[in-house]
Structure formats: C-alpha cells, structure tokens
Structure 1
Amino acid sequence: MGGKMKALVKDKRGFGAVLAEVDIPSIADDEVLIKVKATSICGTDVHIYKWDKWASSRVNPPYVFGHEFSGEVVQIGQNVAGVQIGDSVSAETHIVCGRCMQCLLGNAHICQKTKIIGVDRMGCFAEYVAVPAQNIWKNPNHLSHDVACLQEPLGNAVHTVLNDSIAGKSVLVIGCGPIGLMTVAVAKASGASLVIAMDVNEYRLSLAKDLGTHIVLNPLEQDPLEVINKLTSGNGIDVVCEMSGQPTAMNQGFKMVANGGRVSILSLPTTPVSIDVTNDIVFKGVTVQGITGRKMFSTWYTVSNLLAGNQLNMNELITHRLPLEDYEKGFELMMEGKCGKVVFILE
C-alpha cells in the first residue's frame, strides 16, 4: 500500500510518547492490513507510557504501541483465506507459534513463544495496523467500532470470571480499573449472587455501581476483612478476582476468600508480593489461577454472545472518546483514575 500514516510512537526509554508520521506497515503473505477506526488505552499501555520497571524490561522503543482496536480490512496477503477487504474486525493480540506443547494441547493462550501486538511488534495506536490473518476476529456490522475495540480487554474479564462456574456465588473484584469494571459487569451478567467491588478510587466505585455491583468497598474507609466477614456470615468470598496489583489488597484478597474458594489474578504487580501460603492457600484449600489473555478463541465467542444478547452494556464504561491527537489527556485520565475506558476515535 505504501505511504505515511499518523501514529503514537513510544519514542524513547522514558516517560511519555510522541505523535509522529511513520510508514504505513507492509504486510506479509499471511497478514491483513486494517484501517483502525477505534482504539482504546489498556493498563499495559499505561505501564509503557509511564516507563515502569516492567516496561523497561520488556519493550524496545522506538515503536508504535497499543493493542486494543477495531477497524476495517483494506488489504489482504496472497495466502489469506476467510477474510475479505471491507470486513469489520478486531484481533486477538497474542500471536502464537502453534507448535509448542501448550499450543498443541489446546492452550495457545499460554504459548511459550507468544508475541503481543503493541508490545513485541508494531501496535494499533495508528491509522493502520498489520495483523496475522489467523488472529482476526470478524465483528457483526451492527457493532459500533468504539464498543468493538473493547472486546480484547473484555475477554480478559470474561476469562478471569468464567474460568469456573460462578452462578449463585459471591464475587469480590479487587481493583476497579477498566478491566476490573468489566469484571464487575461480567460477574453480574453471569449469575453471581453477590458482586462486591473494592477500590480506593470513589470515581471508579461510582462506575462500578452503574455497572451493577451490589456493594462497593473502600478499604481506606472500612476494614475490608470485617466487612466481608459480616456479609458472608464468616464464610468468606467464593471467588476473588484480583485486578489491582496492589500488594496489601492482594494479601487481603487471600484472607477474604472462602475455604475451597478461588482467587483469579489478572493484575501485574510491579514488585514481588508476600503471601501467607500456608494459612491463606494450603490450609484453606484455595485454587489460585493466573490469568493471561483470553482462551483462543472460546473466550471471544463468549464475549461476542454476551454483547449480542445485550447482557453487557459497554457504552456505560466508555467515559471518554478522544482523537488520537489528545493522547496526553487520555493517558493523564488513566493515570489519575478519572475515567472508565478511554477510546481514541480515528474515523
């Protein structure tokens, strides 16, 4: 295709990014080129923008970052089948090898050789992005691009909540960032009997209420262990979804989970966390699950069905729609916690 495009570039090993003009990516024979219509900021993007310890050990500037998007296919490689120019699409952002033991056993989401769009290769904070055709997810034409770009992170929430049955169970969501808020909505839509959202950010606790949580809990104002003990008659929470990465909160989660309960961890603590394994995991018979990405592609089907059935209203979660030129405002909102989901509109 050739030519230039506008893109948000992580230009250096340090804080921030710059809006620049870069080459439109060329595609390989098994790839497609997508004109990005909407792209949203993820917590991982904030790690990269802030340049924390994780980012400095993982990514190599300069490059275009961003990985949550929706758009329209404008070019296909000569070996591509099943995808056509004009298709409305999103993408599974984990590019896997297909040959390691995990891939062969049907667990491609934990492929040993995973490469992530916007982390290990050029991303989607740009007018165009190149993606392997095998990673493409076709969207129904009626799904708006701003909601469609949320399917990738929504898949994280679905994977976290539904790794086991939650029907009729109590669920505690620790950390009400955008994916934590999605987790609240998914738990409510999937039949949890009690959904509790815990955070120190009152703005996001208010969003959690809007998304259907039964109870909000601010640990700066209440002792969460006492509150949970009272709410559950001393039994503890059936399912804890740890989305905060905050060591104290994570420790509290393990103390609040019921004997025989489950703790699913999607968060990325930036420092080691000390857990009382003997008393809070072993003697309680707790199942601990590390959650990475989405199951390929069963989680995508679940996400698609939840949206199609109007069981999730993601429009309530999108608090800011901005042009890519306002990226500094978008990242500032994310870092200050004064937003739900921030979506860049490129149409």
Structure 2
Amino acid sequence: MPVSSRKATLATVAASAGVSVATVSKVLNGRSDVSPATRSRVQSLLLQHDYVSSAARRAETSGRDTVEVQFDKELNAYSTEIIQGAVEAGAALGVGVVISIRQQSDRPAAWASDLLAAGRRALIAVTSELTPGHLTALSRARLPLVMIDPLNLPRARVTSIGSTNFAGGLAATQHLLSLGHRRIAYIGGHATAACHQARMHGYRAAMEAEGAPVLPGYVQTGHFRYHDGVVGGAALLDLPEPPTAIFAGNDATALGIIEAARARALRIPADLSIVGFDDTQIAPTASPPLTTVRQPLREMGGVALRTGLRLAAGEKIDSHHVELATALVVRGSTASVGP
C-alpha cells in the first residue's frame, strides 16, 4: 500500500486499518480493550504512515530543544566526564541535556516514540548495545542517533564518536617497555567490545615489536570495573611468574589492581607498575597518582551533541565515525623495573 507523503492523521490510519478513529486512539494510549490482531494491524500501519502523535508534534514545536544522553548502566567517573562535555556544549548552544539510563525493553518502537514525544532533537547513546530493532525504530521516528564508544559497532551505518584506542594501548605498553618491563599483562573489558579489542591489539603490537612475549594468562577480560581489577589483578599476581607491570583497560580497573597489589604487600610502583586508561578525575587522586592514557571524554561528549544537532538540522556530516586523539599522562604509578 503506497503511503502518502503528507503527515498522517488518526483518520488516515483508521481508514487504512478499517477501524474507527477511537480504536486507533486506544492503541496509541496503550488501552487493553483492543484485540491483539487489531492492535498489531494498527501499530504496523502507524509505522508505515510515519505517524507522529500530536503530543510529539507539540514537543517538537514548543519549549526548549533537548538532547538525551543515554547510558546502559550505572553512572561512574567515565560517565561524568561525558556528561560534563555534553552539558557544556548544550549550554553554549542553548540546548537542554537530559541524562537517562536506558531500561531494557522489547518494544523499540514505543521507546523511540517516547523519546520523540518528550521533544528530543537527538539521542546520544554511550557505551551501548542497540539492537537492529532499536536502530530501525529510531530511523522510522526520524530521531538522529550518535553513539559514543559503542560496545559493538552496528552493521548499519551509524554515526559514532570514539578515541584512538589502538594508539592509546600502544603508547601505554611502549611506556612500560621503555622502563625495562618485559613481563607486562593486560586487563581489559568485555571480549567483544570494540574499544577493548583496539586497546588490546595496541598492547600486543607494542609487545611484538619489542620481541617481548605475552605469557599465558597475561591477557584478561572483564567489564571495565573496579572489581575486575581486584579479581583479575589477584589472578595475575598469584601466577608462578607474575607480571612486573599491568596495563589496565580503564582507570577503575587500575585502582582495583592497586588494591590487589596492596593486599599482597606489593608497593606501587617499586614492585609493580600500573597504567590506566581514560584519565578520569580518579586518576590524579589515586595513591600513587595514576599514570594513564587520556581519553578526551569531555570533548567526545561535546562533539557528540553538536553532531546530533547537525543531523537533526538535516546537515551533512564529514564522517560517520570520528576518533579523537589520546595522550599518555605519566604520573607516579610507573617506574623502572627493579633488579
């Protein structure tokens, strides 16, 4: 059935479905007194006609523009930096920023519709795994999406912001090698996460270039959390041939490793050198201050917000994936290998 290019109305959808306007209204409002077959037919036609509710239209044309920054999990030091950058960019542009944690839902169309009805101009999804259903729902709602550090890069052409994770992993490991370390381990994030893979490959590339072997058990995965550092660090330090240095996939993991070392009466950096990743506010306040790879998180938040607004305005963007430069920040958690 051909769909009109004009904005659909309740009457348009009702006529196509062969039901009353009241029935379509009940489906939109989630009423239970509609048969499953009729509800499914009406919902399908609402999508076909790209129907936008009157509430959504009012939100689009009134009040302050808003962009939603959505996380999949609890907020942490990494999240705070992203939020700060997005809020600062929003304030400069007169755009409100709403922070949320995405609730798992098997109704992507309703999720996208709720975002549109709330007046969102764009969605920024941080370290998320959006399904093809979610991506389709956002596309049909014509709501621009920008992803920051997606856990898995979608096959669809999705705009994303990241950093030079491979270069960062390379620099972290080269720093430890320059200090004379050869037994260097790595604790990263989820095995399939794109940023973990890039950091790990940077680590491996540096080790291979130096001719330093990656010993069995020296590469571990986790979830970029403090607990992963405690558990993973303990496993590494209890090996028959423990590492003299560990590259952690993020700052929280690095702090967990420091705790695992402390529990074994090891001194940082005299007995064990540690490098983190991110350079969040916890890095310079660690004891000792943490050597880490600075990921420009605030800048990433700002770039994501501005990119989302450009997409909402129908502007053409230069690239669908942008990587901002990382930089090694040397502090007190690394030192030359002992005798």
After TM superposition, the score normalised by the length of structure 2 is 0.34
| Structure showing the higher strand proportion among its residues | 1
Q: Which has the larger radius of gyration?
A: 2
After TM superposition, the score normalised by the length of structure 1 is 0.33
